[in-house]
Amino acid sequence: MSRLPWWMGGILMAGLLLMTFSVFGADRPLGASTYVPYFAGLIFDLDPEKYSYLQHIKNPGAWEGVMLLGALLGGFVTSVFITKSFRFSVIPTGWKKYKNKSVVSRLVWSFVAGFVMIIGARMAGGCTSGHFLSGVSQIAISSMVFGTVVMVSLIITGKFFYRKKEK
């Protein structure tokens, strides 16, 4: 299975962004983290008038949830049927190689990392998809700063994570 050329990915991403920004699509920037508080509001029946954060969500809707579900299903279908690379693993190979073989350790650190990531997304005013895809495509200064901080953080985290474990 050959991969798509980089330019085809760029054209497809431009098409996605055009549809997302257009009045025929979502009529707003692409992002995923807005769905978390929106979904929490639905589950717990939160009144947006009482919670100031929910008031800041412009045009909330369920389309982000459909997009996230589509990304999950699309990745699954691609890995099973197209690239035939799907495998279920609680502990990825990289974790075993560089950290340990403990399922509990992997799950705890995954939860901690996810929690830190969602806090960071809310502090930054959007998630990586919102900043990298929508913000950078609009040349937004806040997204450029966000992208720089993310890249520096990735390098620092990678240096710590990819150290060989002591034997």
For 95-130, the DSSP string reads HHHHT-S-HHHHHHHHHHHHHHHHHHHHHTTS-HII
- Cα 79 versus chain centre, distance: 18
Amino acid at 137: S
Residue 163's alpha-carbon distances to 110, 132, 156, in angstroms, are 18, 28, 11
Mark 5-34 as b/e (b = at least 16 C-beta within 10 Å): eeeeeeeeeeeebeebbeeeebeebbbbbb
Read off the pLDDT of residues 70-90 as tens digits, 9 standing for 90 and up.
Answer: 889 998 998 899 888 888 888
pLDDT in tens, 86-118: 888 888 888 888 888 999 999 999 999 888 887
Tens digits of pLDDT across the chain (167 residues): 567 788 988 898 888 888 877 777 777 777 777 777 777 888 888 777 777 666 666 666 667 788 888 889 998 998 899 888 888 888 888 888 888 899 999 999 999 988 888 788 778 777 777 888 888 888 889 888 888 988 898 899 888 887 766 65
Side chain identity, residue 81: F
Tokens of 113: 């990392």
